């Protein structure tokens, strides 16, 4: 970790980190506060110490890298997270969704195809029924959008916030983008990232942060240039 990132406060907090949940709680807190480089450094320390034991540090590192504009590094981290010994309650679908999101935002059709194949296998397992399994079902054309939001609302009612719905807003927005509906995607990204609840600060739901970054890109010419570049590359291939 670079010396300038090692503040006295962060050093004190790191000394209290004994296991993966401790490291991830710290990296998540820093990430939600906008301290992206510090959060990424904590995630790297967790990976260095625990290897591929758990996918959570790879999720955190990938989100940090993406928000910092290091998209290739983000994808690398997320893809490594697909092969950890322990994955989230759905069997790793959260990490798969991050990779799918990256593929859509970069117009990377081979990456999308590859991760969709992995999603299909995950959904065939019993754990694939758990959230965010319904989102993956929708992305693959197996579940209508309305059903995704209905299921999300039920979970939100139990949790007392709308963070599950915000998960759905990002990925349904990405699907709209992939299907060519830029206006719908922009609307869903905006809803995902607007008026964030206080619960966001104590959660591992990073979808609003990703949406906030990408909605600005959709408003600019960057999206059109990137899409045109990818289309040209596909035609050459």
**Mean of pLDDT over the chain:** 88
pLDDT bracket for residue 88 (50, 70, 90): confident
Give the integer Cα–Cα distance in Å for 68 and 225: 20
Judge whether 171 and 139 are in contact, CB under 8 Å: yes
Q: Which tops the pLDDT comparison, 233 or 163?
A: 163
CA 141 to chain centre: 20
Q: Which helix (H) or strand (E) holds 157?
A: helix 145-159
Among 14-18, 21-25, 226-230, where is mean pLDDT lowest? 226-230
pLDDT band at 234 (very low <50, low <70, confident <90, very high): low
Residue 116 burial (10 A CB sphere; 0-12, 13-18, 19+):
middle
Q: What is the predicted pLDDT for the residue at 222?
A: 55
Average pLDDT of the segment spanning 10-23: 83
- Helix 71-81, helix 56-67: angle, nearest 10: 170
Residue closest to 115 by CA, chosen among 127, 133, 103, 132: 103
In the chain, where are the structural domains located? 1-86, 91-237
113-166 pLDDT per residue, tens: 999 999 999 999 988 889 999 999 999 999 999 999 999 999 999 999 999 999
The per-residue pLDDT for 2 is 46
Alpha-carbon distance 78 to 15, whole Å? 26
The pLDDT score that the predictor gives to residue 12 is: 75
pTM: 0.88
DSSP structure class, residue 183:
H
Among residues 86, 81, 52, 49, the alpha carbon closest in space to that of 65 is found at 81
Q: Is the pLDDT assigned to residue 184 strictly greater than 50? A: yes
Residues above pLDDT 90, as percent of the chain: 68
Q: Which CATH superfamily is domain 1-86 in?
A: Tetratricopeptide repeat domain (1.25.40.10)
User: For residue 209, what are the CA distances in angstroms to 83, 89, 91, 103, 220?
Assistant: 25, 22, 23, 17, 18
- Range with the lowest mean pLDDT among 2-6, 9-13, 114-118, 177-181? 2-6
Name residue 54's beta-bridge partners.
Answer: 86
């Amino acid at each position: 970790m670079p010396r300038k990132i090692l503040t006295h406060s962060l050093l004190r907090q790191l000394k209290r980190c004994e296991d993966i949940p401790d490291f991830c709680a710290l990296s998540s807190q820093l990430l939600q506060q906008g301290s992206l480089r510090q959060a990424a450094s904590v995630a790297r320390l967790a990976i260095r110490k625990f290897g591929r034991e758990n996918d959570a540090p790879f999720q955190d590192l990938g989100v940090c890298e993406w928000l910092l504009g290091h998209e290739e590094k983000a994808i690398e981290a997320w893809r490594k997270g697909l092969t950890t010994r322990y994955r989230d309650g759905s069997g790793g679908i959260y990490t798969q969704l991050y990779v799918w999101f990256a593929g859509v935002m970069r117009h990377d059709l081979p990456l999308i195809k590859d991760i969709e194949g992995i999603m299909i296998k995950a959904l065939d397992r019993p754990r694939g029924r758990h959230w965010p399994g319904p989102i993956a079902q929708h992305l693959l054309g197996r579940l209508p959008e309305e059903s995704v939001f209905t299921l999300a609302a039920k979970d939100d009612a139990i949790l007392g916030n709308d963070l599950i719905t915000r998960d759905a807003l990002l990925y349904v927005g990405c699907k709209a983008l992939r299907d060519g509906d830029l206006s719908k995607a922009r609307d869903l990204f905006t809803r995902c990232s607007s008026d964030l609840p206080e619960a966001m600060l104590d959660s591992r739901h990073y979808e609003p942060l990703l949406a906030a970054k990408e909605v600005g890109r959709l408003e600019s010419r960057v999206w059109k240039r990137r899409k045109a570049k990818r289309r040209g590359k596909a035609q050459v291939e």
